[in-house]
Amino acid sequence: MIQNSISMRQENPRDANERYGRPFFITASLVIWVVILCLFRLYGYDETWKLWRVPVEHPQFSDFRLIPGSAETFRSGIEPTQRNPGDPHKRIFNYPAFWRLFFYTGITQQDTVWIVVAMLVLFFAGVFLFPNQISVLDSVGLLLIVFSPASMLLYERGNVDLIVFFLCALVILASDYSAVLTASLLVFAVVVKIFPFFGVGVLLRESKAKFLWLSSGCLLALTLYMLKTFKSVSAAWNLTMRGDEISYGANVLFLRYDRYFSELTGAAPSSPFLKFGPLVLAFVLILIAGLIGLRNREPLNSSSARNLAAFRMGASIYAGTFLLGNNWDYRLAFLILAAPQLLHWTRRAYPAQYRFMAAITLAMIYASCWHFIAWYAPSLAGMKEFLFVLDELCNWILAAGCSYLLFASAPEWMKEQFLFRSSGKNDVQAA
């Protein structure tokens, strides 16, 4: 009896750490938001965002205002993909065709605040619901991403990626119940914004046959959708503003230093070599990192099937959007999905190389999500170029780390299919 009592006392801290992880995460998030709202009122709206070094735009939630502004333009008889006087910044409408449905709802700029607040509520509902079996320590690690400057930029802009994240969280939750429902929700998320298709790896928890036919169905749906809405897809690609500062992607470094690379290679800045070369380089890096991970036959165990599915969704969205060339840093918020599993791997993955790679990848996430603090610091204004190159280095390492762990955590049938089929047969024969 005494030994059992001692054993129970020894297990209590760990049990409490696991049991109260989610309540702590939810409570801490709500408390932080209460503090932020109080700061808005007492300290000032702009000043509060600047505590995170987030560059503020006016009017509030400027990214979302493109939709009601375009709706107003459309109702006035002007095509917003050609000219858009209804938008406060006169931006051309460049969202996928799905968002044109809002043109027929009667929304105006006056509806912006309540709609964005609703999107924020849905975003945090997804953040709270998707993780499974998280500890208090994991919650702290998650909070550092959820309230990082990169994520705060997403909230300040009111970007529709808030809704896309919620849909990705629903896809992850659905994977616990139905593969068909998971694929259906993924297709809907792709209709809203195309890049969630990179998260098709969430279906890898299914059998080989089911994965192949479901992923093929998703690919077919994506292809048909892109063909049907080619003009809007083309506009979204060509008209989206691309930054060379608070951004990540294969082209960012080369976009900022295009003259230097042009002089170095002798190619014109607009040449195909400099335009597509960075994408090829990024693809090769991701492919090599993935193959190295795939060749490791040691199983990479997960904390739960749902957390592994979330990691595959978040990591593949980062790697996939990295290959698109250029993304604003608010999209780093999707790495929230990868965090619970990464945090688990940093402590419990075996062999040690998995723990090392998980720790490096997690460190690069924090560095990328928090680099605003240094980038916009007045005292570091003279180090801009160094900070930029350092951030880019973190982004490229992160792309490689995500790829390595994605393939290292692949199901056994995939590893055998691509690399180990023949060696597996020889092992059986030798035995």
pLDDT score at 243:
66
- The residues of the chain scoring below 70 in pLDDT are 1-17, 235-244, 419-431
Query: Beta-carbon neighbour count of residue 337 at 10 Å?
Result: 31
pLDDT in tens, 138-173: 999 999 999 999 999 999 999 999 999 999 999 999
Task: Write out the two tokens for 431.
Answer: 């035995």
pLDDT score at 419:
64
pLDDT score at 375:
92
CA end-to-end distance (rounded Å), the chain: 48
Q: Is 156 exposed, middle or buried (0-12, 13-18, 19+ CB in 10 A)?
A: buried
Sort strands 247-248 and 327-328 into parallel, antiparallel or unpaired: antiparallel
pLDDT score at 430:
43
Which segments of 240-271 does DSSP mark as H helices, in order? 252-256, 258-265
Q: How far is CA 275 from the centre of its chain?
A: 24
pLDDT score at 161:
96
Strands (E), 283-359: 327-328
Q: Widest CA span of the chain, in angstroms?
A: 82
pLDDT score at 10:
53
Task: Write out the two tokens for 395.
Answer: 């982004």
Number of H helices, E strands in the chain: 21, 2
pLDDT score at 27:
97
User: Which residues touch 70 (CB under 8 Å, ≥6 apart)?
Assistant: 80, 84, 86, 87, 93, 95, 103
Q: How far is CA 237 from the centre of its chain?
A: 18
